[in-house]
Amino acid sequence: MKPFARLLDALIFTPARNGKLALIEDYLRHAPDPDRGYAIAALTGDLSFARAKPALIRGLVEERVDAELFRWSYDYVGDLAETVALIWPEADSRADAPHLSAVVERLHRAGRSEVPALLAGWLDALDSTGRWALLKLITGGLRVGVSAGLVRTALAGFGKVEAAAIEEVWHGLAPPYRDLFAWLEGRAPMPAVTAGTGFRPMMLAHPLDEADLATLDPRAFRAEWKWDGARVQLAASGGAIRLYSRTGDDIGPAFPDLVAALAEAGPLHAVADGELLVARTDRDDLAPAPFAELQQRLNRKSVTAKMASERPAFLRLYDLLFEGAEDLRGLAFGVRRTRLESWIARDPRPRIDLSPLVAFDTWEELAALRAKAREDGIEGLMLKRADSPYVAGRPRGPWFKWKRGPLTVDAVLMYAQRGHGKRSSFYSDYTFGCWRPRTDGEGRELVPVGKAYFGFTDAELVELDRWVRNHTVNRFGPVREVEAGLVLEVACDSVQRSTRHKSGVAMRFPRVSRIRWDKPVEEADEVATLERAIPA
Amino acid sequence: MTPHPETWLTPRPEGLWCAPGGFHIDPTRPVGRALITHGHGDHARSGHDAALATPGTIAIMRARYGQDAAGSLQPQGYGAPIRVGEVDVTFVPAGHVLGSAQVRLAYRGSVAVVSGDYKRRPDPTCAPFEPVPCDVFVTEATFGLPVFRHPPDGEEVGKLLHSLEVFPERSHVVGVYALGKCQRVIALLRRAGYDRPIYLHGALQELCDLYVRLGVDLGDLRPATVADKAALKGQVVLAPPSAIADRWARRLEDPVVALASGWMRVRQRAKQRGVELPLVISDHADWDELTRTLADVDAPEVWVTHGREEALIRAATLQGRRARALSLVGFDEEEGE
């Protein structure tokens, strides 16, 4: 438990991705099997056992610590697992601290009524960091800022293999992953890739640099609309249906309406690539609703019937990777596209449709189409070479994304906050606002409309930091309020209505596109400008 | 009849006042006669007419304040009583920083001990705390909550050494208070076998030099300010807490930011300060040390000053002692300075 606890503790404090990777790889090099496999599963959320509720933990600690002292401590610390870990009495002589694997395997067998005694025994045997890690583990949700994708990247680094190779085998494996480690340490061959519902690493596109269009032959490319939804991989085999996100997480459980509708239409055996979208309920055909509607459904563990009926999900497919057991990934995109079209025509299903090709002869013609497309659900265009096989990762050349031009707004810098890691000495996170009429009718006031922390160069950051320090009017911990004196041109992908923000608008993917040292703040935009950009 | 200490030892706005002795203890404003428990700035202010302290504390005050330290500075070693007014005063080691003392006050058969700041665990840079029996024990309570339990020093220094192994390319900048913490962290690193040069922020140099002059071996110390970026890769750099995440730290290459403080025990507190490597190393007693000290000193009555009084009063009451808060203004809640 101790090395695992030390890993979690270090991860929570390490902001940089590379730092996290180094920590996980170091752990994998030193921890034995099966501990390290369970640690990986704990980080990726793939462990299942009887959990403990907060009330149970509170009960255990109040048997051992004066209730008043506990209350003062909990008030001060604010987090139950941490308070209990810190306050738990240190035993004079400790039993041997349990290994992570012993804890996981015992909990897996345990009934709910056995958990309190098991937990108390382990808490007695562990030090405070160990207790904290155990409590995080047993209450579920480690929250150490590590995604499943990051863990797989660390595994790839540890085994010196391609990340795509880990992705390929991952979904056929189960904790504690002995086969995986045997392969990564060169003691055994690569585990067999299971057919069927495993995740296949996705092929990704590079942003198009418009200057490069002159060097590309329009006849070699096919164009599709780039939909403003979530990229998913549908993997179906027999009765099982999985929906994988780009990082290989199964998000099917959040979309039971979609999974059920697909399953009801009979056995499905294919792996396809497409966009997850929410359909407008005021139309009979499948028309995408604004992204905000889909966002309501993402990141949920379960979904209510009301949510599913008000925001029905559907799939718009654009590629076919497997048809039955046949692997199509080595075929050209044009061929796979024909296979996809005939497959959908042969076996149509509710809640699946085909993402159409956009016909064009010249880049100018396509640019004009892209400029005109402002309707919901379209984020721009995808360009795919007709002869490109489906390969994992982000190869340069075969696929491009050509997003439609961003919206820009001139906003006034209002607050700045220190960044993290490398940027911890810089005020690098900026809250900016736009003007609106004061409610009392007396002139205008600034109201925050968003926050951005990238889009500028390192040299510009140094200047921004200096400006913030020289124009501070107020400090709140790590945040400085600055005088209204600097205009930032902020770009964003879209604007949505928001009940969370005082201004009533929220920008999607905002970034600083230019620093307008020259522009008087009075000439910055009004909130009304942003409101006009909200799709109807 | 022996007078109860509350009749001759009383809190005043400028500090704890002992009427029959005619002196204050650690007053926060200039006074006629002051007894100083240790050299941290919130306890040892400058400008008193006369100050009595241990030789170590006087050396620190001279280094910090120069000519302005006090009208007269009178050194008094540990263990030997000295008569001040009608009171017998004895300095007893407090184990907090070099020169730190508890003050034992005896007046007409009644004994009070003012602990100043203290800790119980061994510290290679200062004399260890000695419990002294008394009628009233005046204790600090900086870490007066049962969640504050400082792990063994060796484990915390081990975390720093482990991080140097995992990130051999990155400078490790450790925030330390200039007096006490800085020299203790160096001494702990040396004890753990770390013999490479340790680089210092300019503000730490003078007190390190003083410790060395007073016989504490700190090994190879070098200024961080003139060293070039590349030379600091993978090295330990010590700096005041205010500098570790600010402009000064930009001279370092992708630093791991560490902070040595008892507050690092609480993760949220460490995260708020942008610390990547929290080291729970404190010069104050943790909760177990505070409650054990109450039992060791075994005073029937305890007065609790600066810190989280209510929990320690509760613990003293559970031990069967009378306990009350003694509100003294002017001491920093942050440990040290």
Same domain, yes or no: A96 and A240: no
Tell me phi and psi for residue B61, to 5 degrees.
-65, -40
On whether residue A307 sits in a domain, the answer given is yes
Same domain, yes or no: B253 and B296: no
On whether residue B248 sits in a domain, the answer given is yes
Task: Work out the average pLDDT over B33-54.
Answer: 96
Same domain, yes or no: A340 and A397: yes
Same domain, yes or no: B21 and B170: no
Same domain, yes or no: B139 and B178: no
CB of A350 within 8 Å of any CB in chain B? Answer: no
How far is it, in rounded angstroms, from Cα A420 to Cα A427?
A: 10
Percent of chain B with pLDDT over 70: 97
On whether residue B336 sits in a domain, the answer given is no
The mean of the pLDDT values for chain B is: 92
Task: Work out the average pLDDT over A471-485.
Answer: 88
On whether residue A35 sits in a domain, the answer given is yes
On whether residue A165 sits in a domain, the answer given is no
Same domain, yes or no: A321 and A452: no
Boundaries of domain holding B310 = 5-147+284-325
User: Three-state secondary structure along A244-312?
Assistant: ECCCCCECHHHCHHHHHHHHHCCCCCEEEEEEEEEECCCCCCCCECCHHHHHCCCCCCCCCHHHHHHCC
Same domain, yes or no: A270 and A390: yes
CB of A194 within 8 Å of any CB in chain B? Answer: no
On whether residue B332 sits in a domain, the answer given is no
CB-closest option in B272, B274, B314 to A68: B314
Same domain, yes or no: B136 and B179: no
CB of A15 within 8 Å of any CB in chain B? Answer: yes
* Domain finish residue from A85, A105, A139: A139
On whether residue B333 sits in a domain, the answer given is no
The mean of the pLDDT values for chain A is: 89
| pLDDT attached to residue A376 | 66
CB of A425 within 8 Å of any CB in chain B? Answer: yes
Chain B residue numbers touching A144 (CB-CB < 8 A): none
Tell whether the model's pLDDT for residue B125 goes beyond 50. yes
Same domain, yes or no: B169 and B218: yes
Instruction: Work out the pLDDT band at B337, boundaries 50, 70, 90.
Output: very low
Chain B residue numbers touching A90 (CB-CB < 8 A): 149, 288
Q: What is the CATH number of the domain that holds A475?
A: 2.40.50.140
Number of domains present in the structure of chain A = 3
CB of A307 within 8 Å of any CB in chain B? Answer: no
Q: What is the CATH number of the domain that holds B175?
A: 3.40.50
On whether residue B244 sits in a domain, the answer given is yes
| pLDDT attached to residue B330 | 60
Instruction: Work out the pLDDT band at A520, boundaries 50, 70, 90.
Output: confident
Task: Work out the average pLDDT over B241-256.
Answer: 84
CB-closest option in B159, B267, B276 to A14: B276
Same domain, yes or no: B63 and B117: yes
Same domain, yes or no: A258 and A360: yes
Same domain, yes or no: B249 and B204: yes
CB-closest option in A9, A76, A78 to B145: A76
Same domain, yes or no: B163 and B73: no
Instruction: Work out the pLDDT band at A195, boundaries 50, 70, 90.
Output: low
| pLDDT attached to residue A421 | 67
How far is it, in rounded angstroms, from Cα B188 to Cα B292?
A: 24
Tell whether the model's pLDDT for residue A125 goes beyond 80. yes
- The token pair that represents A53 in the structure block: 């509720």
Same domain, yes or no: B177 and B163: yes
Same domain, yes or no: A7 and A92: yes
| pLDDT attached to residue A238 | 72
What is the C-alpha end-to-end distance of chain B, expressed in Å? Answer: 41
On whether residue B53 sits in a domain, the answer given is yes
Distance of CA A450 to the CA centre of its chain: 20
CA distances from A133 to A74, A83, A130, A453 (A): 18, 12, 5, 32
Q: Helices in chain B by DSSP H: which ranges?
A: 55-65, 153-166, 181-191, 202-213, 267-272, 287-297, 309-318
B250 or A152, which is more confident? A152
Instruction: Work out the pLDDT band at B335, boundaries 50, 70, 90.
Output: very low
Task: Work out the average pLDDT over B134-145.
Answer: 95
| pLDDT attached to residue A83 | 94
On whether residue A374 sits in a domain, the answer given is yes
Number of domains present in the structure of chain B = 2
Same domain, yes or no: B140 and B237: no
Tell whether the model's pLDDT for residue B320 goes beyond 50. yes
Q: How many CA atoms lie within 13 A of B128 on its CB side?
A: 7
CA angle, A447 then A452 then A456, to 5°: 130
Same domain, yes or no: A399 and A414: no
| pLDDT attached to residue B329 | 62
Same domain, yes or no: B135 and B163: no
Task: Work out the average pLDDT over B140-150.
Answer: 94
Closest CA to A240 of A207, A262, A214, A213: A262
On whether residue A301 sits in a domain, the answer given is yes
Instruction: Work out the pLDDT band at A475, boundaries 50, 70, 90.
Output: confident
CB contact under 8 A, A69 and B311: yes
CB of B308 within 8 Å of any CB in chain A? Answer: yes
Tell whether the model's pLDDT for residue A8 goes beyond 60. yes
How far is it, in rounded angstroms, from Cα B306 to Cα B284?
A: 12
Tell whether the model's pLDDT for residue B326 goes beyond 50. yes
Q: How many CA atoms lie within 13 A of A504 on its CB side?
A: 11
CB contact under 8 A, A22 and B147: no
Boundaries of domain holding A413 = 407-532
* Cβ neighbours, 10 Å, residue A215: 6
Same domain, yes or no: A273 and A372: yes
Mean pLDDT is highest, among A277-291, A489-503, B4-18, for: B4-18
CB-closest option in B271, B310, B315 to A13: B271
Tens of pLDDT, residue by residue over A132-187, are 999 999 887 777 888 888 999 999 999 999 888 888 888 778 899 999 999 999 99
Instruction: Work out the pLDDT band at A536, boundaries 50, 70, 90.
Output: low
| pLDDT attached to residue A169 | 85
Range with lowest mean pLDDT among A61-70, A243-252, B213-222 = A243-252
Same domain, yes or no: A274 and A415: no
> Would you say B117 and B144 are in contact if contact means Cβ atoms under 8 Å apart?
no
Q: What is the CATH number of the domain that holds A49?
A: 1.10.3260.10
On whether residue B172 sits in a domain, the answer given is yes
Tell whether the model's pLDDT for residue A246 goes beyond 90. no
Tens of pLDDT, residue by residue over A326-353, are 889 999 999 999 999 999 999 898 899 9
On whether residue A160 sits in a domain, the answer given is no
- The token pair that represents A36 in the structure block: 């390290």
Q: Helices in B116-260 by DSSP H: which ranges?
A: 153-166, 181-191, 202-213
How far is it, in rounded angstroms, from Cα A265 to Cα A252?
A: 17
Q: What is the CATH number of the domain that holds A397?
A: 3.30.470.30
Q: What value of ipTM does the predicted structure carry? A: 0.88
On whether residue A146 sits in a domain, the answer given is no
| pLDDT attached to residue A211 | 84
Instruction: Work out the pLDDT band at A446, boundaries 50, 70, 90.
Output: very high
Closest CA to A344 of A335, A333, A355, A330: A355
A459 or A316, which is more confident? A316
On whether residue B330 sits in a domain, the answer given is no
Tell whether the model's pLDDT for residue A196 goes beyond 80. no
One-letter amino acid for residue A323 of the chain: E
CB-closest option in A26, A90, A425 to B245: A425
Q: What is the CATH number of the domain that holds B80?
A: 3.60.15.10
Tens of pLDDT, residue by residue over A79-100, are 899 999 999 998 777 778 899 9
CB of B267 within 8 Å of any CB in chain A? Answer: yes
Same domain, yes or no: A346 and A416: no
CB contact under 8 A, A425 and B145: no
CB contact under 8 A, B318 and A127: no
Tens of pLDDT, residue by residue over A206-233, are 888 888 888 999 999 999 999 988 999 9
| pLDDT attached to residue B96 | 97
On whether residue A8 sits in a domain, the answer given is yes
Same domain, yes or no: B136 and B159: no
* B 125-154 residues inside an 8 A Cβ radius of A: 145-149, 151
Same domain, yes or no: A215 and A234: yes
Same domain, yes or no: A352 and A241: yes
